[in-house]
Amino acid sequence: MKIDSLKALLLIAFPLALILRIFLTPYGTFGVDVATFQNWSEVLIRYPFSQFYEISKSDYLPGYNFILWFLGKLLYWLANHSIIIDPKLLYKSPAIFADLG
């Protein structure tokens, strides 16, 4: 397979994979995990990062907390601008993009 045809295949495959993952997001989701991520996001928005591990029971590394903080801020910003998005899709987006990566 030539390099150009491989690039063309990837340019088709990745957007299709993204669309498929977005479409399948409501199915097969473990609701407890998504609810936990939403809760952690709320805590990170309301309290300083230094208090997060005192308030929440989390065994995740601090790096993911920054992602959850950003997603929580983004969700509130979207809601304040009357843009409705399913929180489940928003909180699963890091995993979706990691899978595509």
* Structure-model confidence comparison of residues 31 and 15, the more confident one: 15
Angle between the N-to-C axes of helices 62-80 and 87-100, in degrees from 0 to 180, rounded to the nearest 10:
130
Rounded to whole angstroms, the Cα distance separating 87 from 78 reads: 11
- Chain-wide mean pLDDT for the chain? 88
- Tell whether pTM > 0.75: yes
Question: What's the whole-number mean pLDDT along residues 75-92?
Answer: 89
